[in-house]
Amino acid sequence: MRRVFKWFAFLFGLVGGWFLFKWLWESWQPQQIVSAPMPTVEPERIEPLETSTTSPAPPTSTPAEQTSPAPEPAPSPQTLPEEAPLAYCVRCRKKQPVNNPVYETTPKGRRRLRGTCAVCGAKVSQFVKST
């Protein structure tokens, strides 16, 4: 009889010890915060603008007809500058002008310039100001 009691006490100790260990382990673990998954956003791709090489002829008018020159509109962020933008080329190890510049927005909302190096033809990419 004593031997049976020892086996029951042994088994009860194992099971009770397991539940005690499990309870302590769960109480010491940090709480997990369950949130909704972030929606994926496709990057907005902005193509380079077509620039014409010919400039329009200046209007022919007399100085009396000209009152004041019209203010130039502020350049929008999607327009390309007249001079070629510069980006760091890894092959050349310095800033070089960029051929075929493309301004795009990353999925996180940052603006990026992509193109090819005008000197060696390597792909270059650089983050630019958003405004």
How deeply is 124 buried, as exposed, middle or buried, from its count of CB atoms within 10 A (0-12, 13-18, 19+)? buried
Domain residue limits, the chain: 82-131
Residue type, 22: K
The CA distance from 101 to 27, in Å, is 56
The Cα 26–Cα 106 span in angstroms is 40
pLDDT tens track, the chain, 131 positions:
777 777 777 777 777 777 777 777 777 766 666 666 766 767 677 677 676 666 666 666 555 555 666 666 654 444 444 578 999 999 999 999 999 999 999 999 999 999 999 999 999 999 999 76
Q: Judging by beta carbons within 10 Å of its beta carbon (0-12, 13-18, 19+), is residue 85 exposed, middle or buried? A: middle
Query: What predicted TM-score, i.e. pTM, was given to this entire model?
Result: 0.37
User: What is the Cα 80 distance to its own chain's centre?
Assistant: 20
